[in-house]
Amino acid sequence: MRHPEDELAELESASLKRNLRPVDSPQLPHFKVNGETLLNFASNDYLGLANHPSIKAAYQEALEQWGAGSGSSRLICGSLPPHRELETFLAEAKGTSAALVFSNGYATSVGTLSALLQKGDTVILDKLSHASLIDGARLSRATIRVFPHNDLTKLEKLLQSTTEKAPPHSRTIIVTESVFSMDGDISPLAEIIALKQKYGVLLLVDEAHGLGVYGKNGMGLSEHLDCSSDIDFHMGTLGKSAGVAGGYIACSQPYRELLANRARSFIYSTAPPPAQSAAALAALKLIHSDEGTQLREKLWANIRYFSELTQSPLASSAIIPWHIGDSASALALSNKLQHEYSILAPAVRYPTVPRNTARLRITLTAAHSNDDIKQLYHSLAAS
């Protein structure tokens, strides 16, 4: 029998062992980790909404009205007004007829793909798709095909071969992210939609890192490119730019009903706390507002400022990978930034990214000041 101590030792020797960080303050640009005050370049709270007064007020008001928990799954007796109001807003914002809210993004990915697909179906994923999307595809028992990152030529070849051989009544779904979580680059969404339409298949787009960052109303890359109506499944999370928690799928009403009947992570989970959904709705409304527009402008100003300081091309998103290569060196640089310069910029290593592509995953937010970004730049330059 394997012993956990031996497995942990192997991870340690390969510089792949992870440890939980004891954070002792709210998600802010300056926060406390294990007693140290650090400058935070690790959070996905891109617009700085996790501590926004109106969102906290919505949380508190809903807590008083609806209580701390939902009591049951949505299909039993846990489908409360805050959940339904959030879904209505999401459907309208995404231009779909319906939406379904899950407890988190991972549950959304796994539940959706395993519910929509079955043996005989095919799912075609970008190679750099998030682990939750890969896990959902595996659980579905569908045939999995993978195309090299953003490689439209290979994607079309896979679509051609798949649709030629597809059994009657089978489904084929293309899965991609709008903004990729580790490289921060964007998908060629318009071109993927053209291929989707040419071959008559379905498309799921994960806007986890696009929501709040792209689009006139902050609804993501699909809104920015004005192609929302061409996407069958809009997926996203409410724990990044929205600053709260939860996941969602916006889609047609029939598919929404199918997910509510087949998505195991939805059916067999207690519904999210009603106050969580109320706060997420308040966050989405703020993202849609003039204040949300101003926060997006500040975020992009910060991204441009970092690009100017580092004399590097403008990043495609708030995610900036600082490539190192081997895991030990990436971990050493992250530790040096933390202990010598009081900066938290985590090392991302295999299996989160491919072997020998370890990097620091730096995230900028609208809450960072120019001085914060300048401190990051000088610390990286000195290291």
Q: Where are the domains of the chain?
A: 20-46+318-382, 53-288
> Please, what sign has the CA dihedral across residues 371, 238, 129, 335?
positive
Amino acid at 279: A
Cβ atoms of residues 99 and 251 within 8 Å: yes
**Homologous superfamily of the 20-46+318-382 domain (CATH):** Aspartate Aminotransferase, domain 1 (3.90.1150.10)
Cβ atoms of residues 363 and 41 within 8 Å: yes
pLDDT of 383 over the 90 cut: no
Residues 6+ positions from 370 with CB-CB distance below 8 Å: 302, 305
**What are the structure tokens assigned to 335, written together?**
């530790």
Distance CA 50, CA 283 (A): 9
Distance CA 17, CA 125 (A): 28
Relative to beta strand 36-40, strand 30-33 is antiparallel
Distance CA 355, CA 325 (A): 8
Pick from 380, 334, 287, 352: which is nearest to 129 by CA?
A: 352
φ, ψ at 142 (rounded to 5°): -70, 160
Radius of gyration of the chain (CA): 21
**Structure-token match 């995404």, residue found:** 94
Domain 53-288, CATH number (from 3.40.50.300, 3.40.50.970, 1.10.3720.10, 3.40.640.10): 3.40.640.10
Cβ atoms of residues 250 and 256 within 8 Å: no
Give the pLDDT band (50/70/90) at residue 16.
confident
Q: What is the mean pLDDT of residues 158-168?
A: 94
Q: Is 282 in a helix, a strand, or coil?
A: helix
Give the pLDDT band (50/70/90) at residue 147.
very high
The upper half-sphere exposure of residue 142, i.e. CA atoms within 13 Å in the direction of its Cβ, equals 29
φ, ψ at 197 (rounded to 5°): -70, -40
Cβ atoms of residues 117 and 123 within 8 Å: yes
Distance CA 15, CA 13 (A): 6
**103 to 26, 67, 276, 286: CA distances (angstroms):** 21, 17, 10, 21
Q: In this predicted structure, what is the pLDDT of residue 62?
A: 97
Pick from 334, 308, 336: which is nearest to 321 by CA?
A: 334
The answer to whether the bond into 82 is cis (omega within 30° of 0) is: no
Amino acid at 266: F
Q: In this predicted structure, what is the pLDDT of residue 222?
A: 97
Cβ atoms of residues 219 and 211 within 8 Å: yes
pLDDT in tens, 284-314: 999 999 999 999 999 999 999 999 999 999 9
DSSP code at position 167: P
Cβ atoms of residues 321 and 362 within 8 Å: yes
Give the pLDDT band (50/70/90) at residue 34.
confident
pLDDT in tens, 319-363: 999 999 999 999 999 999 999 999 999 999 998 898 999 999 999
Residues 6+ positions from 375 with CB-CB distance below 8 Å: 39, 341, 343
Name the residues annotated as catalytic. 44, 130, 177, 181, 206, 209, 240
The upper half-sphere exposure of residue 153, i.e. CA atoms within 13 Å in the direction of its Cβ, equals 0
What pTM was estimated for this model as a whole?
Answer: 0.95
What angle is formed at CA 233 by the lines to CA 232 and CA 234, rounded to 5 degrees? 125
Q: In this predicted structure, what is the pLDDT of residue 64?
A: 97
How buried is 44 (Cβ within 10 angstroms: 0-12 exposed, 13-18 middle, 19+ buried)?
A: buried
pLDDT in tens, 173-226: 999 999 999 999 999 999 999 999 999 999 999 999 999 999 999 999 999 999
